[in-house]
Amino acid sequence: MDKILVTGGAGFIGSHTVDLLVEKGYQVRILDSLQERVHPRGWPSYLPDAVERVRGDVCDRDTLASALEGVSGVIHLAAYQDYMPDFSTFYRVNTVSTALLFELIVEGHLPIEKVVSASSQAVYGEGKYLCPPCGLVYPPFRSEEQLSGGEWEVRCPRCSGAVEPQAIDESTVNPHTAYGISKYALELTATNLGRKYGIAAVNMRYSIVQGPRNSFFNAYSGIARRFTLRLLAGDPPVCYEDGRQIRDYVHVSDVARANLLVLEDDRADYRSFNVGGPTSTRVLEFARLLCRICDVDIEPRLSGEYRFGDTRHTYSSWDSLAELGWRPEYGLETILTDYVAWVRAQGPAGIRDFYADSERKMKSMGIVRTTSAAPQGSSGQH
């Protein structure tokens, strides 16, 4: 493969993947819609001059067909991510674009050797747990009744007993959000059409990806954006639920390396891989580490709020990808240090206002909700 199309190549994961491809000597073409809520200023300045840029919708047949001309591989990262209940958009952008991609390759007899697609840890839903009497279980999402009453922990779906969270491997999927379902549908589409028509396909199930270039303007950008913008404005980071949720975080540079690895390694073909961080961390631990990195002497706050649809404990095993020679190189402190340095380099203009606007919108849509049963104020732990 000598020329690679990267859909969503102007974005967070896309641009770092593009950088690595260029460094390795590939010719690169980017297809990106430059969605305003992610790229309000158009093409970002960090893109290499050497790459070819095409602005357009990955779901538009003519645009995608043109972008596929002359390439031998595709890294399909264009995606729709949000907390808003615009369910059909998830399927249109994430799943239908993947079907269209394979449709055009097959219809045009295009000499494309491999398609690497962005999936998500969201395909696992509430995740994997161990119930001492029942064994491994994969619980359904927590109900509104449970969350509104401040009962945060997952219970065994068989005996209702306490369960212990486990690292998630690739064997069992159980999505419960429109985003997660659309990503698993993407995987089924790519893997099965790829096998049928001899187009190698690989799906990458990213954990929470953090690092430089993660958009300020996209409410889905995640915990580092939410907490950092508050801290740099002198406000405490606000933890949902009780702050004891377990997550894993992976540096965007490690993700870019994983993308290139599976593009080049035939052992990855027709498989799905977790791309996770080196350790799991509770949200309160994350918040306190970020306070120290931002050099702000403040305690995280528990507001009594929760985000409806969130999982309780999800962290991924990356053992399968390790068998191909990959491991995450960056720990959480480096991830956050790199991100905070990048945020500070951007300047403060408009950042705080956007944060407040996105929070208000999520509350007005019923995505962020409040329970009187949850503790409020500081975390009370030092």
The confidence score (pLDDT) of residue 354 equals 62
Q: How many angstroms separate the CA atoms of 13 and 248, rounded?
A: 17
User: 119: closest CA among 13, 243, 228?
Assistant: 13
Q: Residue 39: what pLDDT?
A: 86
* Separation CA 167–CA 189 (nearest Å): 26
Sign of the dihedral through C-alpha 366, 367, 373, 377: negative
Which sequence spans correspond to the domains of the chain?
3-127+168-306+315-377, 128-167
Structure tokens at 335: 């991830």
Q: What pLDDT is recorded for position 353? A: 53
Average pLDDT rounded to a whole number, residues 87-99: 96
| Confidence at residue 177, expressed as pLDDT on a 0 to 100 scale | 94
Instruction: Considering only the C-alpha atoms of the chain, give the largest distance between any 2 of them, rounded to a whole number of Å.
Output: 62
Q: How many helices (H) and strands (E) are present in the chain, helices listed first?
A: 12, 18
Determine the pLDDT at residue 222.
79
Considering the four listed CATH numbers 3.40.50.10190, 3.40.50.720, 3.90.245.10, 3.40.50.300, the one that applies to the domain covering 3-127+168-306+315-377 is 3.40.50.720
SS3 96: helix
Consecutive H or E run containing 367: none
DSSP string, 216-282: SS-GGG-HHHHHHHHHHTT-PPEESTTS--EEEEEEHHHHHHHHHHHHH-GGGTTEEEEE--SSEEE
Rounded CA-CA distance 197/210 in Å is 35
DSSP state of 43: S
Q: Is the pLDDT of residue 350 over 80?
A: no
User: Residue 129: CB partners within 8 Å, gap ≥ 6?
Assistant: 136, 137, 138, 139, 154, 156, 163, 164, 165, 166, 313
d(CA 14, CA 4): 12
Sign of CA dihedral 364, 369, 371, 377: negative
CB atoms within 10 A of CB 106: 15
- Give 128-174 pLDDT, tens digit per residue: 999 999 999 999 999 999 999 999 999 999 999 999 999 999 999 99
Q: What is the mean pLDDT of the chain?
A: 93
Residues 305-316, mean pLDDT to the nearest whole number:
95
**Tens of pLDDT, residues 27-52:** 999 999 998 878 888 999 999 999 99
pLDDT at 382 over 60: no
Which pLDDT band, with edges at 50, 70 and 90, does 380 fall under? very low
Q: Report the C-alpha gap between 17 and 11 in whole angstroms.
A: 10
- Going from the C-alpha of 24 to that of each of 8, 18, 28, 322, the distances in angstroms are 19, 10, 11, 21
Using DSSP's 3-state secondary structure scheme, residue 32 falls into strand
Is residue 314 scored above 80 in pLDDT?
yes
Beta bridge partners of 282: 246
Phi, psi torsion values for 356, nearest 5 degrees: -65, -40
Question: Under 8 Å CB-to-CB from 284, ≥6 apart: which residues?
Answer: 239, 243, 244, 300, 379, 381
What does DSSP assign to residue 155? B
In tens, the pLDDT along 354-368 reads 666 777 777 887 888
pTM exceeds 0.85, yes or no: yes
Task: Identify residue 208 by its one-letter amino acid code.
Answer: I
- Rounded Cα distance between 178 and 88, Å, is 8
